Amino acid sequence: MKTKLFSHVVSEDDPRIAEAAKIIRGGGLVAFPTETVYGLGANALDPAAVRKIFLAKGRPADNPLIAHISSFEEIRRLVRVLPESAEALSKRFWPGPLTIILPAAPCVPPEVTAGLPTVGVRLPAHPIARALIREASVPIAAPSANSSGKPSPTSALHVFEDMCDRIDAILDGGRSGVGVESTIVSLASGKPKLLRPGGISLEQLQSVLGEVDVDKAVREKLAEGERPLAPGMKYRHYAPKAPMTLVMGDPEKSLLKIRELAGPEDGIICFDEYFFRFGNTKYIRGFGHSCHPEEQAARLFKILRSFDSLPVRHIYSQCPEEKGIGLAVVNRLKKASGFSIIQV
């Protein structure tokens, strides 16, 4: 199949969005920009179309998809119960980078939920994403538009690298601003639980919900056979081709540790203000100031991908604190490194 590229789609009135929506309604796959990362969309109510997402990505069948909607009212059709806490969260953070897990309505096919009794729903903030969903008049199931296991795409070029001729179309709406995927919070049973940190911080969730549990898979490597509540969290993810080690702790100490370990053929990811203190290193990338985790989130996946076209042997990374969006940045770094971590 030849992938159609709709380039430079910057206005929600662009007539090519209607063309892309027609592809979705016809059972095809369209990659589109969201404020978190690029999504790979199909009609969420069409099981055959959803199956194509798993094929194109090489995604394991037990990893469920998020259903994207364009207005709050559309959630009623997808969920069996809508607790007040979900309404409160959506009032505060929708449209935006937050996915809410709730008991699924019978119309949601098991291809979307991976057979779970729950469904993840998100109302994205990106105007092109919302225009596409509105035009398609169906909820759009969309995981990140990368090959399974690779860093998520934050530009149409990244999608093209992974998905060229595997999907029907790509809407190029420029760079994704947040840069890491949505926060996933489960309101499906008992106490609210953070399943994946993302663009909305744990502290922001707590400000609306009070106490929020944090799933073990957010910070730790799961034991063999242990099942996380968000099945995607068990896979090696976001991984560059070269092996990677995360050096956690005080940046002055991680600087010294990385200088000690890294050879001239190794890659380094560091805070911007440390860039020149690593000396004469070839493959070094600054991912933002240590005080600016939003910047680190926005740049991280592009940097991880950039090492794939370089002959780097091993990648070492400095690590921010696990607070605010920093919790999401550290979660992605831990998973990209396959939990190869040195604490300094």
Stretch 262-301: interaction string toward Mg ion, x if CB under 5 A: ----------------------------------------
C-alpha distances out from residue 210 to 18, 102, 230, 343, Å: 41, 18, 21, 31
What is the smallest separation between the CB atom of 197 and ligand AMP, expressed in angstroms? 12
Q: Is 169 helix (H, G, I), strand (E, B) or coil?
A: strand
Nearer to Mg ion, 113 or 144 (CB): 144
101, interface contact from Mg ion, ligand AMP, none, CB < 5-8 Å by kind? ligand AMP
What is the smallest separation between the CB atom of 64 and ligand AMP, expressed in angstroms? 4
Nearer to Mg ion, 151 or 293 (CB): 151
306, interface contact from Mg ion, ligand AMP, none, CB < 5-8 Å by kind? none
Element (H, E) at 156: helix 156-163
Nearer to ligand AMP, 197 or 232 (CB): 232
What is the smallest separation between the CB atom of 293 and Mg ion, expressed in angstroms? 20
* Residues 263, 328: Cα–Cα separation, whole Å: 28
Using an 8 Å Cβ cutoff, are 36 and 97 in contact? yes
Using an 8 Å Cβ cutoff, are 204 and 88 in contact? no
Nearer to ligand AMP, 98 or 242 (CB): 98
| 331 touching Mg ion, by CB under 5 A | no
Nearer to Mg ion, 144 or 331 (CB): 144
Nearer to Mg ion, 143 or 286 (CB): 143
* Residues 169, 325: Cα–Cα separation, whole Å: 31
Binding site for ligand AMP (CB under 6 A): 63-66, 101, 113, 116, 118-120, 143-144, 181, 184, 195, 229-233
> Which CB contacts under 8 angstroms, 24+ apart, belong to 221-227?
221/334, 221/339
Using an 8 Å Cβ cutoff, are 168 and 132 in contact? no
Nearer to ligand AMP, 116 or 258 (CB): 116
Element (H, E) at 318: none
What is the smallest separation between the CB atom of 144 and ligand AMP, expressed in angstroms? 4
| 36 touching Mg ion, by CB under 5 A | no
* Residues 338, 99: Cα–Cα separation, whole Å: 25
What is the smallest separation between the CB atom of 59 and ligand AMP, expressed in angstroms? 7
Q: Which residue is nearest to ligand AMP (CB)?
A: 232
| 99 touching Mg ion, by CB under 5 A | no
What is the smallest separation between the CB atom of 1 and ligand AMP, expressed in angstroms? 22
What is the smallest separation between the CB atom of 33 and Mg ion, expressed in angstroms? 15
Nearest residue to 86 (alpha-carbon basis) of 186, 214, 218, 190: 186
Q: Which two tokens stand for residue 288?
A: 């933002």
Cβ burial, residue 14 (10 Å; 0-12/13-18/19+): middle
| 144 touching Mg ion, by CB under 5 A | yes
Nearest residue to 205 (alpha-carbon basis) of 283, 310, 90: 90
33, interface contact from Mg ion, ligand AMP, none, CB < 5-8 Å by kind? none
What is the smallest separation between the CB atom of 143 and ligand AMP, expressed in angstroms? 3
Number of residues assigned to the chain: 344
- Diameter of the chain by CA atoms? 59
| 148 touching Mg ion, by CB under 5 A | no
Please count the residues of this chain forming the interface with Mg ion, following the rule CB under 5 A. Answer: 2
* Residues 323, 332: Cα–Cα separation, whole Å: 14
Which parts of this chain interact with Mg ion (CB under 5 A)? 143-144
